[in-house]
Amino acid sequence: MLKSSPIEFHAFEKRNRAALINSLSGFKSANLLGTMDSKNRTNLTVVSSAFHLGADPALLGVIFRPHSVPRHGLENLLETKVFTLNHINSSILKAAHQCAARYPKDVSEFEATGLTPLFKEGFKAPYVGESLIQLGLEVAQHIPLEINGTEMIIAEIKHLYAPQECLQQDGYLDIEKAQSLSLSGLDSYHKTQRIERLSYAKPGSWPRPLDS
Amino acid sequence: MLKSSPIEFHAFEKRNRAALINSLSGFKSANLLGTMDSKNRTNLTVVSSAFHLGADPALLGVIFRPHSVPRHGLENLLETKVFTLNHINSSILKAAHQCAARYPKDVSEFEATGLTPLFKEGFKAPYVGESLIQLGLEVAQHIPLEINGTEMIIAEIKHLYAPQECLQQDGYLDIEKAQSLSLSGLDSYHKTQRIERLSYAKPGSWPRPLDS
């Protein structure tokens, strides 16, 4: 049986500390962020930092690391004001992870990894053809976070492509059925297995499983 | 075989839209946020919005919904400047979900659900005894997001309690081994199953599985 004890992470060496701290928020989303610059050069990068911000308007946040590392995706979306998010699924795991490599700006991660760029409805950023859940977003706000030099992009979801079979009657999208993966730490990819959906919590009654 | 098609979410009824849009960022972290106010009243609330922000300093962000709903946890942490995050695991799933119910401020979710408040090292916020991964955080910054009335709290991780057996040599914390759960949408809880950890991505070579 597991028991918790204090972990003195302040004394950890830099890389080990990064691996540890990245594990602490819990499971993370796993997306490929697609952009194209004004010279029509496409870029794909792995983001584990996309998070829900609001349903109406439909807003997401994405965090980008400080300027000390190349961030072609961020540069492109600030230039064109649009980008895509594409759920990473098991069938493209290695190719998706490879998009985190530091390719020069004139090398497209689509070509380097074999993933398929898809352009739809005149949207100026490429979707990932192999991804089953694809979002087209417009940049709404750019907030540099002075506390550590990261940058937050707030974006509005304008387009959504997903399998009709994954959409449930009450609006819930079954991303597990679409084989979307979850990330933990810097490099660990996980399949999921639903325990249950639980009813809306109210004082005085106990949650019950929803049919799904 | 699943195929993606456009989903016209703009036409969705409000609650269905919320269920859908909450599913789109991908899998989310599942935490209980613990606080205590200046009258020593404890509060626990479910947050699926905690996200990694940086490793050094060790920073997390948490998003809170607009003022239109009760937010005792937010009120308390703004008052005391400290809070805890505790990974939700399978053994406490229903009790954890129940903490999302709108109890009055003088009812502690610990008492209402049977979860165990733990105070450690003089820290002024309660940890959840049944949780195997527990973080003690100090509020570093409060950023109201005018775009939709949500509020972002940036906090520094000051204390970490976790099972030594889950800590790997390179610093990675195996949160799956600690049975931490993941959330999708508003109410779907998922166990995970690691596919693999992948090596650091570099141009010119393909990712290989790490031993773990």
Three-state helix/strand/coil letters over B79-113: HHCEEEEEECEHHHHHHHHHCCCCCCCCCCHHHHH
Band (A211; pLDDT cuts 50, 70, 90) = confident
Strand B150-163 relative to strand B58-64, pairing: antiparallel
Distance from CA of A34 to the nearest CA of B (A): 14
In this prediction, residues B178-198 reach a mean pLDDT of 97
Strand B117-118 relative to strand B127-128, pairing: antiparallel
Residue with structure tokens 């502690």? B108
Distance from CA of B1 to the nearest CA of A (A): 10
Please name the residues in contact with B33: beta carbons below 8 A apart, sequence gap of 6 or more.
Answer: B44, B45, B46, B47, B50, B62, B73, B77, B83, B84, B85, B86
Distance from CA of A154 to the nearest CA of B (A): 9
Q: Dig out the tokens for A93 from the structure.
A: 């795991």
Least confident of B15-29, B101-115, B198-212: B198-212
Residue from A10, A15, A20, A161 to probe the interface with B (highest B Cβ count within 10 Å):
A20
**pLDDT at position B4 over 80:** yes
In this prediction, residues B92-101 reach a mean pLDDT of 96
pLDDT digits (tens, 9 = 90+) for B116-158: 999 999 999 999 999 999 999 999 999 999 999 999 999 999 9
Bridge partners (DSSP) of residue B138 are B82, B156
pLDDT above 90 as % of chain B:
94
Set of chain B residues whose Cβ sits within 8 Å of the Cβ of A50: 25-26
pLDDT digits (tens, 9 = 90+) for A161-193: 999 999 999 999 999 999 999 999 999 999 999
| Widest CA span in chain B | 60
Set of chain A residues whose Cβ sits within 8 Å of the Cβ of B93: 195, 198
Measured CA distances, B181 to A4, A13, A117, B175, B189 (Å): 17, 28, 33, 9, 7
**H helix or E strand, kind and range, residue B76:** helix B72-80
Beta carbons of B19 and A171 less than 8 Å apart: yes
Set of chain B residues whose Cβ sits within 8 Å of the Cβ of A107: 203
In this prediction, residues A94-99 reach a mean pLDDT of 97
In this prediction, the answer to ipTM > 0.85 reads: yes
Amino acid at A44: L
Pairwise CA distance, residues B124 & A143, whole Å: 31
Size of interface A-B (CB pairs under 8 A): 367
Pairwise CA distance, residues A61 & A78, whole Å: 14
Beta carbons of B3 and A203 less than 8 Å apart: no
DSSP state of A160: E
Q: Are A151 and A159 in contact (CB under 8 A)?
A: no
CA dihedral A123, A126, A128, A133 (to 10 degrees): -30
> Which residue in B4, B63, B90 is closest to A53 by CB distance?
B63
pLDDT digits (tens, 9 = 90+) for A62-94: 999 987 677 999 999 999 999 999 999 999 999
Strand A42-47 relative to strand A31-36, pairing: antiparallel
DSSP calls for B6-54 = E--GGGS-HHHHHHHHHHHT--EE-EEEEEE-TT--EEEEEES--EEEE
Q: Are B137 and B82 in contact (CB under 8 A)?
A: yes
Mean pLDDT of chain A: 96
Residue from B20, B45, B208 to probe the interface with A (highest A Cβ count within 10 Å):
B20
Q: Are B205 and A49 in contact (CB under 8 A)?
A: no
> Which residue in B90, B185, B193 is closest to A191 by CB distance?
B193
**pLDDT at position A114 over 90:** yes
> Which residue in B14, B27, B150 is closest to A27 by CB distance?
B27
In this prediction, residues B5-31 reach a mean pLDDT of 97
Nearest to A131 by CA among A191, A67, A84, A80: A84
pLDDT above 70 as % of chain B:
99
pLDDT confidence of residue A212: 54
Set of chain A residues whose Cβ sits within 8 Å of the Cβ of B12: 171
> Which residue in A2, A99, A131 is closest to B163 by CB distance?
A2
Distance from CA of B77 to the nearest CA of A (A): 18
Least CA distance to A195: which residue of chain B? B190
3-state SS track over A10-76: HHCCHHHHHHHHCCCCCCEECEEEEEECCCCCEEEEEECCCEEEEECCEEEEEEECCCCCCCHHHHH
Q: Dig out the tokens for B130 from the structure.
A: 């049944």
Beta carbons of B93 and A2 less than 8 Å apart: no
Bridge partners (DSSP) of residue A151 are A64, A144
Distance from CA of A39 to the nearest CA of B (A): 22
pLDDT confidence of residue B212: 54
Amino acid at A138: E
The alpha-carbon radius of gyration of chain A (Å, integer) is 19
Strand B150-163 relative to strand A4-6, pairing: antiparallel
Set of chain A residues whose Cβ sits within 8 Å of the Cβ of B199: 187
Distance from CA of B200 to the nearest CA of A (A): 8
Q: Dig out the tokens for A103 from the structure.
A: 């390719």
